[in-house]
A and B are shown apart, each in its own frame.
Chain A
Amino acid sequence: MRFSALRVFQQALTGHKGWGPLWRNPDPQPAYDYVIVGGGGHGLATAYYLANTFRQARIAVLERGWLGQGNIGRNTTIIRSNYLLPGNEPFYEFSMKLWEGLEQEFNFNAMVSQRGIVNLIHTDAQRDAYRRRGNAMLLAGADAELLDRDQVRAMIPFLNFDNARFPIKGGLLQRRAGTARHDGVAWGYARGADRAGVDLIQNCEVTGFRIEAGLIRGLETSRGYIGAGKVGVAVAGMTGRVMAMAGMRMPIESHVLQAFVSEGLKPTIPGVITFGAGHFYVSQSDKGGLVFGGDIDGYNSYAQRGNLPVVEDVAEGGMALMPMIGRARLLRIWGGIMDMSMDGSPIIDRTPVEGLYLNAGWCYGGFKATPASGYAFAHLLATDRPHDTAQAYRLDRFARGHVIDEKGMGATPNLH
């Protein structure tokens, strides 16, 4: 079934009786050539590109719950490629370009909306840093514009420009950045992978690896043993737990990040705005809700919920930046478990176990990476070589001293 405007029209006239399920719900086969662990955005995208772009077959995705139950369905949906370091920026710009063609590519409405992101500037030092970042973006083929105060005011007049402590002095704008519908992205990749023959197996928790003489043979799961030629792990916040079953300690801590949605309001926030001095960022969903968040709670957590101090901190940040939101009521608060890496950057690499591959360390920024992460991980699984834009994402970079530390914080995951 292909989606098109004509089909929507026909279905509207015939009572919407002709829509079928988007994917099959198969039982596991005894063995596959490729098994992807984790049916989140990255796992589904990996299976999609493995089957469609790299023309591989006999692929399964194992998901312990339902597809998209994890962070792919919990994030604040911001997509952007405004990174600084050479190990990161070409990868995120590759992801941005994939976003731009994604809906045509997988024939699904993921509501990709390039409504722009403004990172606000409050000090002269910050302007220098953003100028440098903007130049790094331009060098990698991305777009970036440095705005002065009046240009920011013309775009977003409702901000508190004259906050005594953090006056707004300008902003770094990436027009091609924006938002996408997180569930739609998971569903689009899932449907595209299923149509290419990938078995998406839900309620199937991986409980162990069968490794013989340093070579992966298969997986123990809650639905029985499944043989595997190559295994790709993409379980985000559960990376530490899952890789421990293969006897590996990870350069990762799991932390909780909260997000917030207000009641629906009339369109007011034009794009994505980040407060460069406090921990607050905001956009507005097409339904009208203000979608916002701030910092991670800051302590190891697998709870998928956070605590009130961060709620207060985020609310204070919001009030300092745009006092008008003070009267909007909150509709929902929730949390997701982040795989915070030791340098704040991801890992897409082989592991010391032959045939076992790792995709992890996405911190709070892996949604925007979904297309490129899936593409690069599929590239690695299919060809055993890293994708050009993902060469720096090595697992052993920490021991070698080649960390990719955008914030310069060192090995303190809660500060990235």
Chain B
Amino acid sequence: MLIPHPLLGLRDAQEFTYLGDARLLDRPDGLAPDAAEAFADYVYLRDNPAGLHRELWFHEQGDRSWLVVTRDTVTHEILGAELARDVALARRSK
């Protein structure tokens, strides 16, 4: 698999390590009244879709940036990649 790194172009997926669903960017509020429940969901439950999946990859043997990669879990086709930083900042400003 080749990942289209937004800064470095196409890179071999072997240079990356995989973390999982990009929803891990949405860390719950630790001080909210339902924090225990929200964290149990956040840490342990996954949508695990068959089809498009937005997921976190870390460019460990490259520029050490975190990417959000959009990939089809049925075909392994990669449809795009963004810097996770940009994704997180865009969400915060909403």
A residues near B (Cβ < 8 Å) are 240-241, 244, 249-254, 298-303, 307, 309, 342, 398-399, 411-414
Contacts and interface: CB of A to CB of B under 8 A. Distances in A.
Contacts of B14: 309
B89 interface: no
Nearest to A254: B48
A342 B13 CA distance: 23
Interface in B28-79: 37, 40-41, 43-50, 53, 55, 71, 73-76
Contacts, number: 66
A414 B20 CA distance: 9
Interface of B is mostly: mixed
A254 B20 contact: no
Contacts of A399: 37, 40, 44
B23 to A, nearest CB: 11
A249 B47 contact: yes
Question: Which range holds the interface residue count of chain B?
Answer: 20 to 34
B1 interface: yes
Given A398-B40, A414-B20, A303 B48 contact: no
A240 B18 contact: no
A75 B49 CA distance: 23
Contact of A301 (B17, B40, B46, B73): B73
A303 B47 contact: no
B47 A299 contact: no
Given A240-B47, A300-B55, A412 B76 contact: no
25 contacts: A240-B48, A241-B48, A244-B47, A249-B41, A249-B45, A250-B45, A250-B46, A250-B48, A251-B44, A253-B46, A253-B48, A299-B18, A299-B71, A302-B50, A302-B73, A303-B76, A307-B1, A309-B14, A398-B43, A398-B44, A399-B40, A399-B44, A411-B44, A412-B19, A413-B20
